[in-house]
């Protein structure tokens, strides 16, 4: 194993340790061909606690699965526009737990670029229901 491989392995372990034990929900998606969010490839335990969905229930699905009738379309449109431009998004909206109950999230979505193109998105979310 060369130094680059060691650094990459350490970086992966550090990320997993931080993300797996974060108090905030973390979701990682692949970037779709159109620049939007593709399928979910990672969620942490805080995501499961916040939404009621286990990782195996959401992996491969769209983050849109958490949206519903009271999810603000204007916020989703701004999200789509900003991430397609490679910008970090910050916003709040209504999402839905597995049991159908609404909750309000505040979240950032950060595009991850490699070789000049966006490959993934990291979303960091927390439940602000009742604090607004």
- Segment 74-94 shows an average pLDDT of 94
* pLDDT higher than 80, residue 131: no
Backbone angles phi, psi at 36, to 5 degrees: -85, -175
Instruction: Please choose, from the candidates 60, 55, 19, 65, the residue with its C-alpha nearest in 3D space to the C-alpha of residue 40.
Output: 60
d(CA 102, CA 80): 22
The HSE-up count of residue 61 (CA atoms within 13 Å, CB side) is 13
pLDDT confidence tier of residue 7, bands split at 50, 70 and 90? low
- Using the predicted structure, report yes or no on whether residue 124 has a pLDDT greater than 90: yes
Beta bridge partners of 9: none
Q: What is the mean pLDDT of residues 82-95?
A: 94
pLDDT in tens, 20-50: 888 999 999 999 888 788 999 999 999 999 9
Give the model's pLDDT for residue 120. 94
Model confidence at 80, in pLDDT bands (50, 70, 90)? very high
Domains with residue ranges and CATH for the chain: 3-127 (3.30.450.20)
pLDDT recorded at residue 109 = 97
User: 74-88 as b/e, with b when 16 or more CB fall inside 10 Å?
Assistant: eeeeebbebbeeeee
**Which pLDDT value is given to residue 17?**
83
CA dihedral 123, 129, 131, 132 (to 10 degrees): 90
pTM over 0.85: yes
What is the DSSP code (8-state) at residue 86?
A: T
pLDDT at 116 over 90: no
Q: Does residue 132 have a pLDDT over 60?
A: no
Sorted by sequence, the CB contacts under 8 Å of residue 119 that are 6+ apart come out as: 30, 31, 112, 113
Q: Which residues, 6+ apart, have CB-to-CB distance to 130 below 8 Å?
A: none
């Amino acid at each position: 194993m060369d130094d680059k491989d060691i650094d990459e392995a350490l970086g992966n372990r550090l990320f997993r340790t931080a993300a797996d034990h974060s108090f905030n929900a973390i979701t990682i998606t692949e970037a779709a061909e159109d620049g939007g969010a593709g399928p979910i490839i990672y969620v942490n335990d805080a995501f499961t606690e916040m939404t009621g969905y286990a990782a195996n229930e959401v992996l491969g699905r769209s983050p849109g699965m958490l949206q519903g009738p009271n999810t603000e379309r204007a916020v989703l449109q701004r999200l789509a526009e900003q991430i397609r431009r490679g910008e970090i998004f910050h916003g709040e909206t209504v999402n839905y737990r597995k049991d159908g109950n609404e909750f309000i999230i505040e979240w950032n979505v950060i595009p991850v670029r490699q070789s000049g193109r966006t490959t993934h998105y990291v979303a960091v979310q927390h439940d602000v229901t009742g604090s607004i």
